[in-house]
Chains A and B, each alone.
Chain A
Amino acid sequence: MTAAARSTGALAFALCLRRAALPGVLATGLAAIGALVFAPELGDPATATTPATATGALTNWLLLPLLTIAVTVAVTVIFLWPTFAHRQPGADWVRRLHRGPLAGCGAVIAGALAAQLALSLPLMTLFARGLGAPAEAAVHRALSPPDSGALLSPGRPRLAFDLPSSSAELAAIELRPLAAPPGATLEPSHVAIELGGAPLSSPPAVFDQTGQFMRLTFTPRPASRLELVLQSGNVPLFFPAGAVVAVEDAGKNGTTNGCLAALLWLVPTFVALAFSCLAGAVAARPTVLTVALTLLVLFGIAGLGPAQPVLLGVLRGHWLLASSAISASGPSLLAGALAMIGAMLLRHRNRR
């Protein structure tokens, strides 16, 4: 710790950085070994024709060091800052010197998040690239079905989708329809695509089972309207929201995507620390620790909030600003903010 770190936030930053660096490095090493030893036994030339490969399956190895860092950072600040938990030695010192309603907890959380950001940036950029994340991220836009319905069947052989107004050209369409049983002997449905009224030259996508994934790649072109045309076959196909994804041509920088991912991965830690701060107004340190760790596990492993979509987005090469990770962050951030407000009110009441 340097004497230069005089402010509370800087102290928390320096301490978290120092405490979390070694566990983070060890976890990264472990993850790298794990990714090598347990690499998917694919050798899959099939995916050579598909930009989206199996790297999305490697989120566990990226999660390991990230979660290690987040847990270390959370535990460090809870032990560092006496007002994080109820009736800790030294709390009166801190309350006298930090007159705000959170008695410095806000500054400490900010410092901790900055430390986590510093440690997770190389992971989300360099380590993710090492795991196979694409150098360029593509914008994937999930299309909403038309109001008139989302069924493509012999009785209704055309289905039109409005594309979001964007200057970027489209380079691919991904389809994942739900299939219903046909009325007669099954004949796979062949679906062609028309962009702005012009048919694509790529072969049609063939569907005969539900949830089947098809990617149609074509020469990039601008378009404002997409139509699915049932050329032949009798398998009724249902395209709910998200079943049709337009992939834009303009590639975004993968490193920038990694930086965005590191930023979004602060959300779980923020929420965990915010709820710890709330719990700490009335609970002792073991309870506060339990709250923080439980939330981090729920976010990191159980898939709550944006943590999982962020990792998937980085490894699959999906531009995060256009992904579900952003929308998944909203409720988490709101919950964290409410927890902080609750902590302020509760702590104010406790002083009476």
Chain B
Amino acid sequence: MATAISVQQLAVRFGGRRPVDALHPLDLELECGRIAGILGPNGSGKTTLLRVLAGLQQPTQGRATVLGEPAGSAALHRRLAYQPEGALPLGVLSAPEFLAWVGARLGLDNRESDARAAHWLGRLDLQHAGKRWLRTFSTGMNKRLALAAALLGEPEVLLLDEPTAGLDPFGSAAVMTTLRELAAAGTTVLMASHHLLEVEEVCDEVLVLQGGRVRARGTFGELLGTDAHALVVRGLDAAAIAQLGETARELGGEVVRTEPERQHLFALFRRLAAARPAEGPAPNPDGPAAGGGGANAEAPEEREHPPE
């Protein structure tokens, strides 16, 4: 499979009287159609790495290529999209106006730009935002619009900085679902996040940074795999469970713990949100909660348990 992102001995040092090494020399290869997560505490260099790949920061040493082109090259203007963390610019525009401006900057034909904008606004449940100014959007709406804007040019490589920070579970689930679909369609995604569960859920591989250095790298199987297997049973009473434990011990195994089954918190949240129509004005059990921050309900259908 072709390489989407290639980084060799890339380092970034911020100058000044007290220079700071934001990134120590690191290497990275990411194949097309993969989703990779960058994890690490604040100040570990996640955003710096993404900004270098987006062409917004010149590296102090080393080189970075995206889709075979040097990072920051004009050829990547539409092929690569970067969703920075934080607020969107032009807060006095509405969502369609903002996407129209982004489309124009990406060189899209007006009609095509409008069609794509309508698609992503609907897909990310922003079609009701209407003529509201961006500066009045909730954090979740901002994040979803940012993703829509990043996807407007149908990029081959997507760089995301904290794409779900501040989103409610529905919003996060919608974003994760979208990312999986994009990866399935061949888009390469590199995302920095503090949401370990989400990264674990959606990413194929992970890069752990700390202090600008790579602490761990690989697939989840490589990083988290053990020889142990777990058995989950349902429908047995206490006596039967005790007997099952006895059998396991006889077979040479070890019963690590026995605990009652509990639903995931997400299922509870979804159920409560779905019950809101009786109390509020937004009768949309599959849609978002009124007032922004919601997302479509494709993801929650398939997951009522934490990933295993």
**Which A positions have Cβ atoms within 8 angstroms of B?**
1, 3, 5-8, 11, 15, 80-82, 89-99, 351-352
Contact = CB atoms under 8 A, between A and B. Distances in A.
A89 B86 CA distance: 6
Nearest to A76: B92
B106 interface: yes
Given A1-B93, A3-B96, A92-B56, A11 B88 contact: no
Contacts of B84: 92-93
Given A89-B87, A91-B89, A92-B84, A6 B101 contact: yes
Nearest to A93: B89
A93 B88 contact: yes
Nearest to A2: B97
Nearest to B133: A1
Nearest to A15: B92
- The residue among B51, B56, B91, B101 with the most chain A CB atoms within 10 A of its own CB is B101
B77 to A, nearest CB: 7
B100 A6 contact: yes
Contact of B82 (A11, A81, A96, A352): A96
B87 to A, nearest CB: 4
B102 A97 contact: yes
Contacts of A7: 101, 104
Interface in B81-123: 82, 84, 86-94, 96-97, 100-106, 110, 114
Contact of A80 (B58, B90, B97, B149): B90
Contacts of B105: 8, 97-98
Contacts of A95: 56
29 contacts: A1-B97, A3-B96, A3-B97, A6-B100, A7-B101, A11-B90, A11-B93, A11-B101, A15-B92, A80-B92, A89-B86, A89-B87, A90-B89, A90-B90, A91-B89, A92-B51, A92-B54, A92-B56, A92-B86, A93-B84, A93-B88, A93-B149, A95-B56, A96-B54, A96-B56, A98-B105, A99-B77, A351-B56, A351-B58
Nearest to B91: A90
Given A6-B103, A11-B101, A90 B56 contact: no
B57 interface: yes
Nearest to A90: B89
B149 to A, nearest CB: 8
Given A89-B89, A90-B87, A92-B84, A8 B101 contact: yes
Contacts of B57: 351
Contacts of B114: 3
A33 to B, nearest CB: 31
B95 to A, nearest CB: 11
A90 B86 CA distance: 7
A103 to B, nearest CB: 10
A92 B93 contact: no
Contacts of A11: 90, 93, 101
A82 B89 contact: yes
Nearest to B114: A3
